[in-house]
Structure 1
Amino acid sequence: NRAFNEMYIAAKKRLDNKSPIDIANKAGIVFCEETSTLKVKSLDRTVELIYPSYEYKQKLDDWYVLILLHYLDMADGTPVSNQAVNFGELKDGLIRGVKFEKTMELELNRFLVNKEPEQVINVCKSLGAEIIKSKFDLCAVFPLFPNYPITLNVWFADDEFEAVGKMLVDKSADNYLTIEDAVLVGEFMLRCISKRYNELYGTL
């Protein structure tokens, strides 16, 4: 649509004349000089962008591409803190981030209804997530981008309580994406999880 196209063109323009080696170093990705390609490990795959056009051959979600370009533009090389925080704790997240958190928790709780724990764990692993030992029944860390992990914490249902889930970002997230992009990331991850479940276990 028009709004997306305008943002896409603007995102590519901001990357004009930026050194691909500098981009790669700050974003934690690989620049292959022989093929003039930026290679980004993302979830369960490697995305390749041709430099300097930033064109791609794979079939990718439009908004995912926009987020990726913004990530490459904003990345400053800040190390991942491994400290997960709420979206509302990000810069300018008090309104947009908190609002998304409420929507996200409702969507996650709806997704978790009647799901077997093993199914949810398999979905996370199939998307490249690392399962971390924690106080939660499930703590999965998704490598959306090399320096932009997304954490999913889940309490599965028992005899007394329904299953609940929560998604978080790393404390360093502001060094890589704006709050608007962070919300798009959250929405994208919700779609990915639901879609992968459908692929593995059938329609919800």
Structure 2
Amino acid sequence: MEEWSVSLSTAYEKAVQDMSSLVPSAVAARTGAQFDGRAFTLKLFYRTFRIAFPAIAISEIGAQEPPPLWAQILLLHHLQTADGTPVADHWIAFRELPGGRFFESSYMQQSIAPLVERFGQDLDGFREASRALGGTIMNRTGDAAFRFLAFPQMPIGCILYLADDEMPASVNIVFDESASHNLPTEDVAVLTNYFSNLLIAFAD
């Protein structure tokens, strides 16, 4: 746990340093964030964050506690990575992201398995939680499928397949083809873990 904390602290410090070279107006245009001359305002799913610039300080609007360090890193990495590539409206699997196969095992264990356990036999619960999290219906195969905005210009999709006589229940999270232009793959794995926890929390 101590090593994890040190690793996060190091990643955060580097992310803060890397912010110094950014042009705020260009970042806002590429990400869909707002910049008022002193801070960016950026949504992550239903939560809204304020990222002061150039002296970086991150807070969640309406919250008393500071965001966890992993969330702050995710926000900074998105501001740094997003290059303005438009949404392609073409969905791909996690393994198709750059280096996705390297992270796939932990992604399946931390993001997919909990969703299957919670919603594999609860179609109505999946639909209700998805709508509560701001999801909109996707035209995809599966028993239910919803599209979400992780960041303003970074959609993800979640598809539930109920069990049948031949196959067990399964869940698939899909990403717009432009996802790697918005976050490194390791951060996409963190994002989906957060999404999985959110969706389960909205159901319970």
Runs of 4+ in 1 over 4 A off after TM superposition: 157-162
Per the normalisation by structure 1, the TM-score is 0.85
Match of 2:9 among 5, 14, 35: 5
- Which residue of 1 is the match for residue 187 of structure 2? 181
Q: Please give the alpha-carbon distance, in whole angstroms, between the structure 1 residues aligned to 2:96 and 2:120.
A: 28
Residue range with higher mean Cα deviation, 100-109 or 80-89: 100-109
Task: Give, in whole Å, the separation in 2 of the partners of 1:45 and 1:159.
Answer: 40
1:150 and 1:169 in contact (8 A); partners too: yes
Equivalent positions of 1:92-171 (< 5 A) are 92-96=99-103, 98-103=104-109, 104-115=111-122, 117-157=123-163, 162-171=168-177
Q: Which amino acid aligns with 2:198?
A: C
Are the structure 2 counterparts of residues 118 and 9 from structure 1 closer, same or farther at C-alpha, using a change threshold of 3 Å? same
Could you list the per-position Cα deviations for residues 128-175 of structure 1 after superposition, in whole angstroms to 9, with x for gaps in the alignment? 222223322211111111122121011234677543211121111111
CA RMSD of aligned residues (A): 2.0
Residue 130 of structure 1 aligns with an amino acid whose one-letter code is: T
Note the residue ranges of structure 2 that are not aligned, 5 or more in a row. none
State the AA in 2 paired with 1:38: F
Q: What whole-Å deviation, never above 9, does each CA across 1:25-69 have from its counterpart, x for those lacking one?
A: 111211123xx2211122123222222233223243331221111
CA distance in 1, matches of 2:34, 2:58: 15
Distance 2:134 2:68 in 1: 18
Cα distance in 2, alignment partners of residues 152 and 175 from structure 1: 20
Q: Which amino acid aligns with 1:39?
A: T
Question: 1:45 matched to which residue of 2?
Answer: 47
CA contact (8 A) 2:45 2:133 kept: yes
Q: Are the counterparts in 2 of residues 93 and 179 from structure 1 also a CA contact under 8 Å?
A: yes
Q: Which amino acid is 1:172 matched to?
A: S
Task: Select 1:190's aligned residue among 157, 182, 196.
Answer: 196
For each residue in 1:72-106, what CA deviation from the matched residue of structure 2 results, as whole angstroms up to 9, or x when unmatched? Answer: 0011100011111111111122322x324532432
SS at match of 2:40: strand
Return the letter of the residue paired with 1:174.
Answer: S
Q: Which residue of 1 aligns with 2:36?
A: 32
**Conserved 8 A contact 2:33-2:40:** yes
* Residues 1:22 and 2:29 are matched in the alignment: no
Q: Which amino acid aligns with 1:118?
A: D
Change (3 A) 1:128 1:29: same
Partner of 1:70: 77
Percent identical among aligned pairs is 24
Report the TM-score, using the length of structure 2 for normalisation. 0.85
Structure-2 residue corresponding to 1:61? 68
- Structure 1 residue runs of 5 or longer lacking an equivalent are 199-204
